[in-house]
Amino acid sequence: MRIETSFTPIPEIATELLAVLAVDTQAANGRNAKPQPTLLVSDPAVLAAAAGVLATGEYKGGANETILLHAPAGVAARRLLIVGLGKQAKATVHSVREAAGTAIRFAKPRGIRKIALALPDNFSQSLPHAAVARAAVEGAFVGDFDPDTYRSERRDQSIEALAIAAPAEAGHNIIESAVAEGAIIGESQNFARALINEPGNKLTPTILGQHAAMMAQKLGLGWEVHSTEMLRELKMGAFWSVAQGSAEPPALIVLRYEPEGVQDGPILGLVGKGITFDTGGISIKPSDNMEKMKYDMAGGAAMIGVMRAIALLKPRVRVIAIVCAAENMPSGTAQKPGDVQTAMPLAPEKPGKTIEVINTDAEGRLVLADGLTYARRLGATHLIDAATLTGAISVALGKIIAGAFANDDDAYARFEAALSVSGEKFWRMPLGEEYADLIKSDIADIKNTGGRYGGAITAAEFLHTFAEDTPWIHLDIAGLAWVEETRPFIAKGPSGVAVRSILEWVRSFSSGAQA
């Protein structure tokens, strides 16, 4: 999708479809009051073209509600699409993100290839122009993605060109750079989604490593992709215990971003779970829905997507990403319940922590244990991990909000601030001694499951054992990494959740950025 910015008066934009936004301005507590759809553009020609349909009451301006007008009078565009943001009082920058996606997904199946989206010109206190422009472009890219890569006759027909139409009085440079930023972020989220979408046979750990390396090479990031030998050398016994059952070798993917002239300050360690297929191993999963376990590398893909955006946006902070990629398989060489593994030590001369593997299906925490330790060894001062770690997080929070855990309030405060920019929903979950007690083992230092209750929290405490006192955030995205049903603004399939939030968290550390 090609993106351009336009400051042309919107009635003069010749395009296949012009999308404008509307809010419902009905008085907040008017219980039986009728919805009052109000366009967020003040151009008289557009208002006149829409007046008739808005007067009928058939369109309410609800969130992502659309209505299409053909050959609108007085407007050069062939079609006028009105997209709702919902109640005015609740409309946010994120509502615009979704509405832009809705406009794109409205156009795609109708053979429309060129569209323009008018930014609000009369609602700017709560919807600042630059933030809205950026979010609209992000939402447009997210909406443009469809997962039918392997259909012989692909139904997915991407939008060719999107023009972001900004009011003439908006600062041109500010809007143009916001649009460019939005494109980088939206494309990086889609880069992650494309990886997540790949089936296990097409995306082995080795191939995931190749994709990461190609991206890094192209964009000037440092990179290394290691395999079995390096795991042995580093004594990554926890990571290897998952990989050992598969014919596919593991990949330890390391991506480095070292901006010129930044020699001190924090080093951020981004650690992603990259299980390219999770059968459960010897503790094998039931076959119902097992095909979904190709997305068990969504956390790792998110980190690769974040690094892509970082390479292009160039924040002034050093970042290392580590993706622990393996296939979790049952076989004659697979680890068994009861096996004891020794995790990577923090220093070569120190002993590694020992882990009793109760359930081979709790493999994500095993690979992340060594990933977190390795990030600390490479000098990470702050850690963030993302993983489709537990079914239990969906029991706790549904498939509406993702889980977040942190051992450090300052690091988490930055993450919360990042959420207000990304529009993503995470809820901070507790950690605590009493949960940590549930993963004590009779034979080893810890065990890899903590019983039936509080499963997302005991999983987080397992990771905490390896993050120790390094400021650390853990994101359990198991419930949100896959969109179960198509929505107006996003296709069903991989969501790319966490990319935007982690990126914003990283940018908050950029020297010169507001803390």
Point out which span in 20-28, 353-361, 369-377, 419-427 binds Mn ion (CB under 5 A): 353-361
How many Å apart are CA 46 and CA 73, to the nearest integer?
8
Query: What is the end-to-end Cα distance of the chain in Å, rounded?
Result: 34
| DSSP letter, residue 490 | B
- Which residue has its beta carbon closest to Zn ion? 278
Selecting among 365, 376, 414, 447, the annotated active-site residue is 365
Nearer to Zn ion, 234 or 481 (CB): 481
Active site includes 318?
Answer: no
Q: What are the φ/ψ torsions at residue 429 (nearest 5 degrees)?
A: -105, 160
461 binds ligand BES (CB under 6 A): no
359 binds ligand BES (CB under 6 A): yes
Point out which span in 210-218, 330-338, 339-347, 363-371 binds Zn ion (CB under 5 A): 363-371
Selecting among 60, 114, 285, 399, the annotated active-site residue is 285
Q: Strand (E) positions, 88-221? A: 114-118, 161-165
How long, in residues, is the chain? 515
User: Smallest distance, Å, CB 485 to Mn ion?
Assistant: 24
User: Smallest distance, Å, CB 368 to ligand BES?
Assistant: 11
Nearer to ligand BES, 296 or 424 (CB): 296
Secondary structure class of 207 (helix, strand, coil): helix
Among 64, 449, 470, 508, binds ligand BES (CB under 6 A): 449
Secondary structure class of 12 (helix, strand, coil): helix
How many Å apart are CA 185 and CA 496, to the nearest integer?
11
Nearer to Zn ion, 275 or 321 (CB): 275
| Structure-token pair, residue 33 | 């009051």
362 binds ligand BES (CB under 6 A): yes
Query: Are 424 and 139 within 8 A, CB to CB?
Result: no
**How big is the site for ligand BES, counted in residues (CB under 6 A)?**
14
Torsion angle, CA of 86/87/89/93, rounded to 10 degrees? 10
30 binds, among ligand BES, Mn ion, Zn ion, none (CB under 5 to 8 A by kind): none
Among 187, 361, 424, 504, binds Mn ion (CB under 5 A): 361
Among 363, 424, 461, 504, binds ligand BES (CB under 6 A): 363
Q: What are the φ/ψ torsions at residue 325 (nearest 5 degrees)?
A: -105, 130
User: Smallest distance, Å, CB 283 to Mn ion?
Assistant: 8
Per CB under 5 A, which of residues 405..444 are in contact with Zn ion?
none
Query: Are 344 and 230 within 8 A, CB to CB?
Result: no
Nearer to Mn ion, 146 or 361 (CB): 361
The strand pairing partners of 404, in sequence order, are 428, 475
Q: Pairing mode, if any, of strands 482-483 and 493-494? A: antiparallel
278 binds Mn ion (CB under 5 A): yes
How many Å apart are CA 43 and CA 54, to the nearest integer?
15
Among 44, 57, 109, 391, binds ligand BES (CB under 6 A): 391
Nearer to Mn ion, 81 or 367 (CB): 367
176 binds, among ligand BES, Zn ion, Mn ion, none (CB under 5 to 8 A by kind): none
Question: 450: burial class by Cβ within 10 Å (0-12, 13-18, 19+)?
Answer: buried
Question: 73: burial class by Cβ within 10 Å (0-12, 13-18, 19+)?
Answer: exposed
476 binds ligand BES (CB under 6 A): no
How many Å apart are CA 307 and CA 161, to the nearest integer?
26
| Per-residue binding letters, 261-300, with Zn ion (x by CB under 5 A) | --------------x--x-----------------x----
Active site includes 377?
Answer: no
| DSSP letter, residue 18 | E
Torsion angle, CA of 153/156/161/167, rounded to 10 degrees? 160
Among 98, 296, 327, 370, binds ligand BES (CB under 6 A): 296
User: Smallest distance, Å, CB 455 to ligand BES?
Assistant: 6
- Which residue has its beta carbon closest to Mn ion? 361
Which positions are catalytic? Answer: 285, 365
Please give the residue ranges that form the binding site for Mn ion (CB under 5 A).
278, 361, 363
Binding site for ligand BES (CB under 6 A): 278, 296, 359, 361-364, 388, 390-392, 449, 455, 478
